[in-house]
Structure formats: C-alpha cells, structure tokens
Amino acid sequence: MAKLPVSPLAPPRFPDLPEIGGVRFATVAAGVRYADRTDVMLAELSPGTSVAGVFTRSATRAAPVLDCQEKIGRGSDDGAAIIVNSGNANAFTGGRGQESVARVTGGVAERLGLPPERVFSASTGVIGEPLPDERITARLDDLKDGLTATGMEEAARAIMTTDTFAKGATTRCEVGGKTMTIAGIAKGSGMIAPDMATMLVYIFTDAAISQPALQSMLAELNHSTFNAITVDSDTSTSDTLMVAATGASGAAAITDPASADAAPFREAMGRVMLDLAHQVVRDGEGATKFVEVTVTGARSEGDARKVGFAIANSPLVKTAIAGEDPNWGRIVMAVGKSGAEADRDRLSIRFGDILVAENGWVAPSYSEEAAAAYMTQPELAIGVDLGLGEAAATVWTCDLTHGYIDINADYRS
C-alpha cells in the first residue's frame, strides 16, 4: 500500500516532549514486517514506578493484552519496562502467541534485571500471522544500549502503522510547590481496526502516585477521553492504554484519587489524554472533518452517550458531513435509532451556533445556506438537546469518505 498523505486535520507539528525523570526510551528497526523504519520501542521505568492500564474489552483479545492484564496491578517496587512492536499484532495466533510474549518479555526482563511480571508488551499490525519474535529478541541488547531520556518522539514513530502523523502531548501541573510533568504518545487511525490501526497509548509522568490511585484515575478519565471517540465503531483486539508514574518529581505521593492533591494531577492527565484522543480522531482513516457531538438535556449520562455515539457512528451522518451537507434529518434519524429516551417534539439540533430544529420541526430562523456554509469548515460542532433532563455527554468523530474505502478495501494488498 502506498504511503498515505498526512491527514489535513493533523496538528502543525509534533510537540516538544520533555524528559520525564525515571523514563528512558530506545527504538530499533527490527524488520518485524516493515523495511527501512523503526518498529520496536522499549521504555525503561525506574524502580518504584506505578503502572496502570486499561485494555480492549474484545472477547478475542491478542496475546500481549492478555499478558498485560495478568500482570497489571500487582504491587511491586521493582523497575519496569514496556516493549511494543509494530507490523504484527500477535493476535489470533493460538498458544504460539503466548509463547512469543513470554520470550519477548522474558528477554527484556533478563537484559534489564527486572522480574518478568514487570515487563509489559504490545503488538500492533497484521492479525493471524505468527510474531517473528526472534527478530525482536535478537535486538534486545541494541535496545538496552540505546536507552536515552530524550527518545520519546522516536518511540512515537516506531509504533505507527497506518497513522499519517506521530502523536504526542504534554503538560505540567503543580502541587505543594512541586512541578509534575506528564507526556504521552499514541498511535491509532481507525477506531480501531484490527489490522494496523489498533490504538496504543503510553503516558509517562514523574508524579508519585500509588498504583491503585493511578488505576482509578485512569479508568475514570478514559471514559470521557479515549472511550468517547470513534472513527468507524470497530474495536481492535489489541487496544492498550498505559500510564507509568515514576515519582521522580519528588512530590508527595498521591494515594487517594479523591484528595485535593490529586485534583491538579487528574486535571492535567485528563488534558493529555483528551489531546491524544483528539489526535487519533484527527488521523481517522480518510478523515477530512473533526466533529464534536455534544448531547445535553438527557435523562441520564448513559442516554446522552447513546445518542452521541448513534450520531457519531452513523454512516449516513458521517457521509453527509463528508459531503458538507447540513442534512439534519439524518441527525433526527440517529437520535431515533439510538435506543435512548427521546421525544421528537422536545428535540433541538444545532450546527455550531446555528439553531437547526426545535419543537419537532425545522427552526423558523433556520437558513440552509448558512448551515451549508458552516459545514465547509474542517472542525464542526453538532449539538443535540433532548429536552428531557440534565445529563450530558460529548463524543468526537470524523467523517466517512472515499479515503476510508480506499484504505480499507485494499489494505493487505
């Protein structure tokens, strides 16, 4: 497949990611599948690092995901490591898949002097082909020798598959006079295809946080960030989101996610996660529009999300957006099919600031020309008020274009 052009929705450039105390990175070109590019990244985490993670809920999870889920959350003050390859997902590879994971993580553990249960892995790429793990283990010494505190951008590039740009984000926060830094990388461009468009996210911070507190915050923030985006409604067998907190900032340890000290960190980590989640949508396969769907006035947050995702996943809504057509009838349709409680005559719909429909019919002030002009913008906001209650939710998606068909109808050839 030819190299894809960079998404028109990409940020202007990769951010300058700061060093995070206690984290070092290395990458190599191991030739797992691709030629002439890096395809393995290793992150080494200092002793005492808390590692939290959330994973795909697919019933056909890949071997590395099963391994991570087994290992995550065990108390340990040992160092840790994360190793990720692109090119092969090691998914649907039977018992051999587990053996490959054991060889790769065991090899890393040996080189870095870690217990094997502190080495986490991920693989992203083609499904159903055995992982040529010997190509990775042959390069573990090189990875160890290459470890550097400044390698996070290279790590972001090594895990790309169909991504058209590398994804990174960073921010800082202060607690009790101490500055804590958070930086993360992500890959993903279909939401989230099983082949090479799996979403992988790794976030690093020098904050000091107990593993249970970190896990709790991660799960909560995930709900409104990575679990609030969709490109094509498909779910990878390998989706992985991990956060590592090294404690190198010297700030006091956060052990209660509900404490006052936790609040600035939670807010900052949420910002990094939302930034990365938006970048995944901006790299949605074939995307030409970035779309925020906000649903208000729902009876429950669950209903608001149902309506939001019904709109964001509707092929008819997404193709209308691609065609810059203010086809609000398709929004009505998506609300209707969502399964959420809705009342046609209380529903109102907005495109940006333009009131489109209310009281069960098109708004008297509505101008199709103004709406059509609005739809030509690359970033769109769709607002739906159900008029039934106080609950709300926001989700993000992109349009469905010929580019999506191009990429996915001919992916493996």
Region 83-142 residues binding a copy of itself, contact defined as CB under 8 A: 89, 91-96, 126-129
Region 192-211 residues binding a copy of itself, contact defined as CB under 8 A: 193-195
3-state secondary structure of 119: strand
- Taking each helix axis from N to C end, the angle separating 301-313 and 315-322, rounded to the nearest 10 degrees, works out to 60
Instruction: Provide the pairing of β-strand 290-298 with 391-398.
Output: antiparallel
Least spacing, CB of residue 403 vs a copy of itself, in Å: 9
124 annotated as a binding-site residue: no
Count of residues in contact with a copy of itself, rule CB under 8 A:
69
Asked if 190 touches a copy of itself (CB under 8 A), the answer is yes
36, 77, 345, 353: residue in contact with a copy of itself (rule CB under 8 A):
345
88 bridge partner residues: 126
- Of 6-14, 37-45, 210-218, 397-405, the segment contacting a copy of itself by CB under 8 A is 397-405
As a three-state string, the secondary structure of 215-259 is HHHHHHHHHHCHHHECCCCCCCCCCEEEEEECCCCCCCCECCCCC
Q: Indicate if 181 belongs to the active site.
A: no
285 annotated as a binding-site residue: yes
CA-to-CA separations, 330 to 53, 131, 163, in angstroms, rounded: 37, 44, 30
Please identify, using beta-carbon distances, which residue of 165 and 404 lies nearer to a copy of itself: 404
148 annotated as a binding-site residue: no
The CB density around residue 146, as the number of other CB atoms within 10 Å, is 16
DSSP track, 331-344: HHHHHHHS-S---G
Two tokens, residue 246: 């090294």
User: How many residues can be counted in the chain?
Assistant: 413
Q: How far apart are CA 319 and CA 232, in angstroms?
A: 12
Q: How far apart are CA 124 and CA 160, in angstroms?
A: 9
- Of 200-208, 252-260, 265-273, 333-341, the segment contacting a copy of itself by CB under 8 A is 333-341
Asked if 319 touches a copy of itself (CB under 8 A), the answer is yes
Please identify, using beta-carbon distances, which residue of 97 and 151 lies nearer to a copy of itself: 97
Please identify, using beta-carbon distances, which residue of 246 and 313 lies nearer to a copy of itself: 313
187 annotated as a binding-site residue: yes
102, 149, 333, 355: residue in contact with a copy of itself (rule CB under 8 A):
333
Asked if 408 touches a copy of itself (CB under 8 A), the answer is yes
117 annotated as a binding-site residue: no
Write out the H or E segment, with its range, that includes residue 271: helix 262-282
Region 238-297 residues binding a copy of itself, contact defined as CB under 8 A: none
Tell me the one-letter amino acid at 82. I
Q: How far apart are CA 348 and CA 10, in angstroms?
A: 31
Annotated catalytic residue within 105, 164, 198, 288 = 198
CA atoms within 13 A on the CB side of 111: 24
Two tokens, residue 23: 């984290």
Q: How far apart are CA 93 and CA 349, in angstroms?
A: 47
Asked if 342 touches a copy of itself (CB under 8 A), the answer is yes
As a three-state string, the secondary structure of 15-83 is CCCCCCCCEEEEEECCCCCCCCCCCEEEEEECCCCEEEEEECCCCCCCHHHHHHHHHCCCCCCCCEEEE
Least spacing, CB of residue 360 vs a copy of itself, in Å: 4
Look up tokens 């060889």; give the residue: 103
Least spacing, CB of residue 195 vs a copy of itself, in Å: 6
70, 134, 220, 343: residue in contact with a copy of itself (rule CB under 8 A):
343
Least spacing, CB of residue 281 vs a copy of itself, in Å: 15
104, 143, 340, 371: residue in contact with a copy of itself (rule CB under 8 A):
340
- Of 1-9, 212-220, 272-280, 399-407, the segment contacting a copy of itself by CB under 8 A is 399-407
8, 115, 250, 329: residue in contact with a copy of itself (rule CB under 8 A):
329
11, 212, 264, 336: residue in contact with a copy of itself (rule CB under 8 A):
336
Asked if 385 touches a copy of itself (CB under 8 A), the answer is no
76 annotated as a binding-site residue: no
Q: Which residues are identified as catalytic? A: 198
Annotated binding site for substrate: 161, 187, 198, 285, 408, 413
Query: What residue ranges bind a copy of itself (CB under 8 A)?
Result: 56, 58-61, 89, 91-96, 126-129, 190, 193-195, 232-237, 313-316, 319-320, 322-323, 325, 327-330, 332-338, 340-345, 347, 357, 359-362, 400-402, 404-405, 408-413
